[in-house]
Amino acid sequence: MNVVKREDHAAAVKACVDNFGSLNVYLNNAGVNKPKMFMDIDEENWDFIMNVNAKGMLFGMQEAARQMIEQGPMEDHPYKIINVGSILSRAAFDDVIPYSCSKHATLAMITGGAKALWQHKITVNGYGPGVVATELWKQLDKDLVAIGKFEKEGQSMDTLAETMILMKKLSTPDDVVGTAAFLASDESDYMTGQLIMIDGGIVMQ
């Protein structure tokens, strides 16, 4: 699936409806990053990140909402759209500014989308992971070495764990899945427009 293509979102929605009869929850999880220092950011870098992280999310929200509106309100529960943000939805670092901008856009789409879609009984929420020990972060760690931000691989994650994360440890995907499941469940019916941080205490609000 190419999230930058609106028709791919529409196809995913159709596949869900064809297989399960309706679309009740849609989660936007695609994201990319490519660190560059501020003066080195170019159009290619900016467009690559913003297209996937921001435009792709907008298309996903719109195509999901279009189907949910067509289905009509459910009797007992709202529909759910869930967007994956980041600690950088509420902060910014000098080596990942396009990514920070894209994740601030995620927050705007959560809050603005919640206001726009509640009339159709659709909630919009999200969660913001911190430093998660995944393949994405391993690649990010290599990229940070390549631009001279750190001297050796592994140093970025160790440094962030020691200096920024209150709990002094990286998170794992298991730390995130519970919140995602909660936002998709009936337990979150009375929530909308919220971004929940899962970051070990980096961003406090």
d(CA 139, CA 116): 36
**Tokens in use for 66?**
């279009």
Count of C-beta atoms within a 10 Å radius of residue 135: 7
Nearest to residue 195, comparing CAs of 140, 123, 132? 123
Residues in contact with 7: Cβ distance below 8 Å, sequence separation at least 6, in sequence order: none
Which entry of 36, 79, 80, 99 is annotated as an active-site residue? 99
Please pick, among 36, 103, 127, 149, the residue that the annotation labels catalytic: 103
Torsion of CA 185, 191, 193, 197, to 10 degrees: -70
Does 190 qualify as catalytic in the annotation? no
Block residue for tokens 């979150």: 188
Decide if 142 is catalytic.
no
User: Tell me, what amino acid is at 170?
Assistant: L
Strand order in the sheet with 79-84: 25-28, 79-84, 122-129, 195-198
Within 10 angstroms of residue 144's Cβ, the number of other Cβ atoms is 19
Q: Are 166 and 203 contacting, i.e. CB atoms less than 8 angstroms apart?
A: no
Per-residue CA distances from 18 to 35, 65, 86 (Å): 40, 17, 32
State the catalytic residues.
Answer: 99, 103
